[in-house]
Structure 1
Amino acid sequence: MKKHIPNLFTCLNLFSGCIACTMAFQGEYFWVVFFVILGSIFDFFDGFMARLLKAYSDIGKELDSLADLVSFGVAPSLIVFHYITSALGAESALHSLQNILPYFAFVLTIFSALRLAKFNIDTRQTTSFIGLPTPANALFWISLCYGLNEKFVASDTIVYIIIVLIVIFSLLMVSEIPMFSLKVKNLKLKGNELKYLLIIFCIAAIAIWQIMGIAATIIFYIALTLVSYKKVKE
């Protein structure tokens, strides 16, 4: 019985991702954020329960990737698609591309799939990550789109920035850059300095920028990783 418990959490992750997708179709940005975050919580607990119960299985590994692709690949792409579509209104100079440009959002889905496939066959990623994890990528996009929709007037400049960010984040997901994991084996400061620093920044960012603070936290996470990676190489 216990071997099915991690898979239950994985299925709840998938279910949350499916709801997030339907919310994205309806332009319900807040609920996309809510259900993707909920999916990421379930994603954390499926791995946690698998380790706690020693209930590892090949089907669990494959199911986890399939669930992640929906929750952290398709759902964020759909909200980006919706935002770009709504931004390319009649007054936009890019209005003629309204039936083409929004589909570029699904490049994120493609690279999320590549990232997950790479993770499944890469034995180096047991205690840390190689490349940007798909949940981090998803959290960035859903919080960014929510913030842009709530606090900024849509413009062609923002669309251009989103296109550039899609390219950057897609490449980060399949990059060879080592990125630290948030899995905590103990609560000691030594060895967890980067994790605690990220948590402190996250709390401050959300207090200042609300949901958009999540996107700022992911940017900070990437910056911390790049700085630490550069120091290691030196």
Structure 2
Amino acid sequence: MDTGFSPYDPNGSDKEGDESRGPRLRDISFRMMVPNIITALAICAGLTGIRLAFEQRFELAVAMVLLAAFLDAIDGRVARLLKSSSKFGAQMDSLADIVNFGVAPALVLYAYLLDHVKSFGWIAAMIYAIAAALRLARFNVMEEEGVKASWQADYFVGIPAPGGAMMVLLPVYLGFLGVEPGTFFAYLATAYTLLIAFLLVSRVPVYSGKTLGQRIRRDLVFPLMLVIVLYVALLMTFTWETMTATTVLYLVSLPFGARAWRKRYGAHTAANKTE
């Protein structure tokens, strides 16, 4: 039946009579669908986290947000591994990030703590969610422009949305560790939420680690594996202590990443002037 709409094309180039168009619906392989399925599961995790928060099951709610972050971290890698990257998948992943790293953490934090200060907490939660959306939109635009030196790929402009979601939940981790979620703590958490929102939309260079580990010296392979296993073991055994320490270390590392950027940028600018 002719519906008047073009069939699904993962790369958005399905025009009548265009020989370069992508595969039609009947030709889409399961391999092409796998990354999108992972992204859909990440959205399910983020939305389930919101539901669990309103049911006062906060530990599971935070776990769902962290699971969404994990799924987000692997969907792009799976797409590249299976050679199934597509424009559709990129757009879906970006929209999923707004839910998982903007809306879900804001609502979980509000339900757990920020509602103690009523409107102030709600405003902070909204500002954080909007900042996450702005951060993702800016990232997409910068990726499309693609005009930057190769070394600049090692850095984000502002903290990434998954990192923001991990950090903004720090007051919740502290609550799980015994900090009383009272009014004073809620005001501190409100100010902290605004700080993370600012870091999302700031132009602070943040080390991305994208190229870290692409090539590893043979003598460092086993020690690195042991460190990873140790971190996962700590995360599974002392979950909230490990998440608190990870968040604090990430915050502490930001000035060092910015300083490294300035050094490399200065050297890059000086090299261009001498050419």
Range into which the TM-score falls when normalised by the shorter chain? 0.7 to 0.9
Cα distance in 2 between the residues matched to 1:118 and 1:201: 35
Q: CA deviation at 1:182?
A: 4.2
What is the match of residue 194 of structure 2?
167
Structure 1 stretches of 4+ with a deviation exceeding 4 A read 124-127, 198-209
Mapping 1:74-153, distance limit 5 Å: 74-84=103-113, 88=116, 98=118, 100-104=119-123, 105-123=125-143, 126-153=153-180
SS in 2 for 1:129: strand
TM norm structure 1: 0.80
Amino acid at match of 2:180: V
Unaligned runs of 5+ in 2: 1-28, 264-275
CA shift digits 1:21-78 (9 cap, x unpaired): 1111112111112211211121112111111122221111111011111111111111
Amino acid at match of 2:242: G
The structure-2 alpha-carbon separation of the partners of 1:207 and 1:41, relative to structure 1 and needing over 3 Å to count, comes to closer
Unaligned runs of 5+ in 1: 89-96
Identity, in percent, stands at: 28
Amino acid at match of 2:121: P
SS in 2 for 1:122: helix
Q: CA deviation at 1:200?
A: 9.7
Cα distance in 1 between the residues matched to 2:46 and 2:153: 25
Does the Cα contact within 8 Å between 1:10 and 1:63 map onto a contact in 2?
yes
Does the Cα contact within 8 Å between 1:146 and 1:211 map onto a contact in 2?
yes
RMSD over aligned CA atoms reads 3.0
Which structure has more relative contact order (CA 8 Å, sep 6+)? It is 1
What is the match of residue 228 of structure 1?
257
SS in 1 for 2:63: helix
Amino acid at match of 2:165: A
The structure-2 alpha-carbon separation of the partners of 1:161 and 1:189, relative to structure 1 and needing over 3 Å to count, comes to farther
SS in 2 for 1:154: coil
The structure-2 alpha-carbon separation of the partners of 1:111 and 1:152, relative to structure 1 and needing over 3 Å to count, comes to same
Q: CA deviation at 1:156?
A: 2.8
